[in-house]
Amino acid sequence: MFRHERRPCSYFGHGKESRHQVPERFRLMHDHLHQHHRSQFLRHYRYFRYFRPVALVFNLLILYLLFSWGGFKGIGIFFAALIIMKEVLQFFFLVRLEKRIFKPMESIRQGLDEVARGNYSVKAAYDKPNDLSFLIASFNEMTEKLSESEKMQAEYEENRKALIANISHDLKTPLTAIHGYIETLLEVPAASGENRDKYLKIIYKNIIYVNRLIDDLVLFSKLDMQKLEFHYEAVSIRPFMNDLMEEYRFDCEEKNIGFHYRVELDEDVWLNVDGKRVHQAFRNIISNAVQHGPETGLSIEVRLCRQGDFVCIDIKDNGPGIPEDKLPFIFDRFYRIETERPKSFAGTGLGLAIARELLESQGGKLTVSSIINEGACFSIMLPILRDSGGEASETYPDY
C-alpha cells in the first residue's frame, strides 16, 4: 500500500518559518497564483483570436468542395450564401464580443495587476457603455476608495508621529525645569526663604501645566475616538449666555482686561447642546485671546446674534491678529503661531483644536477671521432647536 505524500511547492518553504518569512511566503504564493490565472486568461483570449481565421479557412474549404460538385450547382450556391451570411454575422458578433467583453475584461485584469502591486490610483478605462460597464465602474470606485484609505492611513501615521514628537517636547520642557529646581533645592538646603519660595512657585506652575496638558490630551483622544459622552439638554440661549458672560466679566476685571457683551437677538431661542462642553469651548477660545493678547490694554468683545437656523456668537479681541498664511492651521493640534511658548501663560497647543471638536460634535461650527494688528474674531455657530415649544424648561448647566 502506497501512501501519497504531497510535496509543498518551493514557495511554501520547509520547516518552521520566522515571523518575517511568512509575508514573503504569501507574496510568492500570490505571485504564483496570479501568473497561473493570467496565463489561463491569455490562453483563452488567444484561442478566441485564432478561432476566426481557422473557421474562415474551414468554411472556404467547404465552399470549394460544394462548387466542385458539378451536378449540384444550385445547392452549392445556396449553401455558399448561407455560409457567407453566417461568416458575416459571426464576424460582427465576434468583433462586438471582443470589444464589449474581452477588452473590458483585459482592462480590469490589468487594473487588478496594478492594485496587487500597491498602485491604488489606477483606473480601468472604457470609451462607451458596454456589458461590463457596471463592473468597471465598481472597480474604479473600489480603487478610488482604496486610494483614499491609503492617503488617510499615511496622514494618520504622519499625525501620530507628529503627536508623539509634540507630546515628548511639551512634557520634557516642564519636567526638565522641575528636575532642575528640585535638584537645586536638594543641593543647597540652606537656600534663603525667598529663593526657596521662588523655586517652589516655578515647580508648582510647571506641574499645573503638565496636569493641564495631560487633561487636554485625554479629552482630545476621547473626542478623536468619539468616546466622549455628551449630555444634551434644551438650553435657553439668553439666560445661558448671561450667566456665562457674567463669569467672564468678573475674571477679566480681575486681570484688567476690557470685556464687552452685547445681544442682537430679537427673541430668545433654544439650543439642544451640552452646556458644560460649550462652556469648555468658550473658555479655550477666551484663554487663547488672553494668551496671545497684549499685556496691557487687551479688550474682548462678545456678540450674540442669529443667522438663519443658527445662533452666532462672535468673540473678538484687539490682539496682534493671526497672519493669513497661518489661519488654515490655527485649529490643528499643537499648532502655535510663536515658536516659543509665551511665558505669561502656559498654553498646551490643544485649546482651539478641542474647542472646534467640542462644537462640531454638537452640530456646530467654529471659524476664525483676522486682520493683522487689529485682532482676531472667532465665530461659533450652534443650531437652533426647532419645535421646542413649552415642553422644554430653562436649563442652567453645572459647570
Q: Are residues 238 and 379 in the same domain?
A: yes
Better-scored residue on pLDDT, 200 or 33: 200
Report which of 358, 379, 386, 390 is spatially closest to residue 270, judged by C-alpha positions.
Answer: 386
**Is 258 among the domain residues?**
yes
**Is 289 among the domain residues?**
yes
Enclosing H/E stretch for 381 = strand 375-383
Using a 10 angstrom Cβ sphere, with 0-12 exposed, 13-18 middle and 19 or more buried, the burial of residue 237 is buried
> What confidence tens digit (pLDDT) does each residue in 132-145 have?
777 777 878 888 88
- The residues near 108 (Cβ < 8 Å, ≥ 6 apart) are 124, 132, 135, 136, 139
The model's confidence at residue 46, banded by pLDDT at 50, 70 and 90, is low
**Is 4 among the domain residues?**
no
Q: Are residues 205 and 248 in the same domain?
A: no
Tell me if 252 sits within 8 A of 227, measured CB to CB: no
Q: Are residues 33 and 166 in the same domain?
A: no
Q: Are residues 212 and 327 in the same domain?
A: no
In eight-state DSSP terms, residue 385 is P
Sign of CA dihedral 84, 88, 91, 94: negative
Tell me if 270 sits within 8 A of 229, measured CB to CB: no
Q: Are residues 88 and 120 in the same domain?
A: yes
Look at residue 47 and give its three-state secondary structure. Answer: helix
Which pLDDT score is estimated for 71? 52
Domain count, the chain: 3
Report which of 380, 136, 390 is spatially closest to residue 273, judged by C-alpha positions.
Answer: 380
**Is 196 among the domain residues?**
yes
Judge whether residue 97 has pLDDT over 80.
no
Alpha helices in the chain (DSSP H): 21-68, 73-97, 103-116, 133-187, 193-224, 237-254, 275-292, 351-360
Q: Are residues 200 and 71 in the same domain?
A: no
> What confidence tens digit (pLDDT) does each residue in 241-268 have?
998 898 888 888 888 889 999 998 888 8
Report the CATH number at residue 361. Answer: 3.30.565.10
Report the CATH number at residue 193. Answer: 1.10.287.130
> In whole angstroms, how far apart are CA 288 and each of 18, 317, 331?
53, 10, 12
Better-scored residue on pLDDT, 30 or 255: 255
Domain boundary among 196, 224, 252: 224
Alpha-carbon distance of 395 to 83, in angstroms, equals 90
Q: Are residues 166 and 124 in the same domain?
A: no
Which pLDDT score is estimated for 330? 86
> Is residue 37 left, alpha or beta, with left meaning phi > 0 and alpha meaning psi from -120 to 50?
alpha
Phi first, then psi: give them for residue 111, nearest 5 degrees. Answer: -65, -40
Judge whether residue 6 has pLDDT over 70.
no
Q: Are residues 248 and 351 in the same domain?
A: yes
3-state secondary structure 246-294: HHHHHHHHHCCCEEEEEECCCCCCEEEECHHHHHHHHHHHHHHHHHHCC
Q: Are residues 333 and 242 in the same domain?
A: yes
**Is 139 among the domain residues?**
no
Q: In which domain, by residue range, is 184 found?
A: 158-224
Judge whether residue 382 has pLDDT over 90.
yes
> What confidence tens digit (pLDDT) does each residue in 132-183 have?
777 777 878 888 888 888 888 887 777 777 777 777 777 787 888 888 888 8
Q: Are residues 302 and 208 in the same domain?
A: no
CA 56 to chain CA mean position, Å: 59
**Is 143 among the domain residues?**
no
Q: Are residues 378 and 247 in the same domain?
A: yes
Q: Are residues 257 and 318 in the same domain?
A: yes
**Is 13 among the domain residues?**
no
